[in-house]
Amino acid sequence: MKHNRLIIESGIPAKMRDGVTLYADIYRPADEGKYPVLLTRLPYSKSYGLHFIRPNILAQQGYIVIVQDVRGRYASEGEFVPYIAEVDDGYDTIEWAANLPYANGDVGMFGLSYYGYTQILAAISGNTHLKAIAPIMAQNSMTDVFNDHDGALELGMWETWNLESMLPDMLSRKYRTREALKQAADTLTENLDNLDMLYKFKPYKDWPAIGREEMPYFAKLLDYEPTNSHWEKIDAKSNYDKIKVPGLHVAGWYDCFLDKTIANFQNGYSRGFGDKLVIGPWTHANFGQMIGDRDFGMAANAWGEASMHKRHIEWFNHQLKQKPLPEMAPINYFVMGLNEWKTAEEWPPKNVAETPLYFQKGEVGAEFSAPTTFTESRFSYNPENPVPSNGGGTLHKELHADGPRDQQTLELREDILCYTTAPLDKALEVTGPVQVKLWAKTDAPNTDFTAKLVDVFPDGKAFNLADGIIRAAKQHGDNVQNNINEYTIDLWATSNMFQKGHQIRIEISSSNFPRFDPNPNTGESFINSTDSQIANQTIYHSPEYPSHILLPIVR
């Protein structure tokens, strides 16, 4: 039954256990009766566009839809520190929502990104009124995402998100006079217009774009201690056993939270909760067919924004109203290059064989046969001239920021090694997790190694598919300098059909800026230091040191 008449209430208070009041807007059917609740909790204002899913459409399907400002944001009281309060506040808000006079006691949650993770943390709280979640492009850790991406800091994401998404409301809460607020807003606008230059400022703890009084948590989170119980409480992957509700998980091959979303799905699915996973060719919050420099065709829309309401309604009708769920495999994933959807019963798919593609030195730089001779390649990495980010699973503000982008010009740099196969004599599908096993040596006390998987078209265009980084000391501690070590670089996952005549390329370098903070190669970090030195890197490809990429090839 569709409810065409709705009641919309604004600024409805909910008191948390410590006395702080959070405020929400409520959309509900005007028809008498009790309905299940669909709740979303976000830091971007309860009047935020919610472009991918509209509360009124959900309410028309017989739901009470609650959109709440999280603690310390917009209408809600309290101090905002990312995620810190979301377990307890999630529990208390669910309890309040379930006991509204027009609610039937069952609650589902929906939302994307930050308000995808508020669902995960609310599920950890153990409130039994919560029956199902739909975390879209959501993480499973706060610190892993920003501070510790295999040892590196996600610099572009960290600085952009705080400056662009968090600071405006913090300024309005701090500066109460029109003149002071205008001056602060003008400074913010100037900084946003010059963000590509501000990425280069160091040390990051003294970043001038954000004042310590305006955003007191900024420097604190840069210097986090992962063993602090404060952080452990909001680390979902350490508390997966506490989640006991099914989830509909949506990811993108070029999303900054791809691996986290997959892990969230695997937790629930492996425990028999009936979780579902959808992975499209998308970037963060972009569910269209034109992604980066590539058009993935109309098929990309089959699970995209145009059908997002339908998918959510089907999911929650099943979980909260006991209606049949239309036939749906546990996993639906989009194969780029083929531009078609496929299904799987598990991740990675059963028909995948992990196959090494070995790096060689020569005109054909990558072969499926292992090397038989000793060769090596060298390059120098200068932290003051890092390799620019060009597409990928980023979340920062810069030209060609995310998605698939042509890498040809970038590959002309002397600090990027390219290992490329001969043109393929038949199509080859790669679907699943991707890793690089790299034997390398550096003359620096610490450094980074990066890897990128690329699909090279017959006309020379080279589109990135997946990439990763490892901070050397993260895997080898003090045994980095002048030692040949094996490094594992996690490129997360992809699904791509390398068509006949295409080539597979792997780029190896030591930086990807501003997606990641450049390693100064000194043993310190640009978080607290400005000193740097050049690192001379050697990559080995030999029977003893067989550097390679592990490709999940579909049989």
Catalytic residue among 129, 149, 249, 284: 284
Helix axes 114-125, 86-98, angle to 10 degrees: 80
Task: Look at the block and give the residue holding tokens 């939302």.
Answer: 111
Task: Look at the block and give the residue holding tokens 């850790």.
Answer: 141
Q: Which of 421, 427, 555, 422 is nearest to 500 (CA)?
A: 427
Q: How distant, in Å, are the alpha carbons of 24, 43, 74 from that of 47?
A: 10, 11, 10
Q: Which of 82, 126, 109, 91 is nearest to 239 (CA)?
A: 126
Q: Which of 18, 57, 63 is nearest to 36 (CA)?
A: 63
Q: Which of 207, 203, 289 is nearest to 252 (CA)?
A: 289
Q: Give the HSE-up count for residue 321: Cα atoms under 13 Å, Cβ half-sphere.
A: 18
Compute the C-alpha angle 472/476/478, nearest 5°: 95
Q: Which residues of 187-197 are buried (b: 16+ CB within 10 A; e: fewer)?
A: bbeebbeebee
Q: Which of 489, 541, 546, 507 is nearest to 362 (CA)?
A: 541
Is residue 284 annotated as a catalytic residue, yes or no?
yes
Q: Is the torsion defined by CA of 438, 444, 446, 451 positive or negative?
A: negative
Coil, helix or strand at residue 258: helix
Is residue 113 annotated as a catalytic residue, yes or no?
yes
CA–CA gap between residue 144 and residue 152 (Å, rounded): 9
Task: Look at the block and give the residue holding tokens 């980074």.
Answer: 448
Helix axes 178-193, 167-174, angle to 10 degrees: 160
- φ, ψ for residue 164 (rounded to 5)? -85, -40
Go through the chain and tell me how many residues it has.
555
Amino acid at position 89, single letter: D
**What percent helix, strand, coil does the chain show, rounded to 5?**
25, 35, 45
Catalytic residue among 89, 92, 106, 255: 255
Supply the residues annotated as catalytic.
Answer: 113, 255, 284
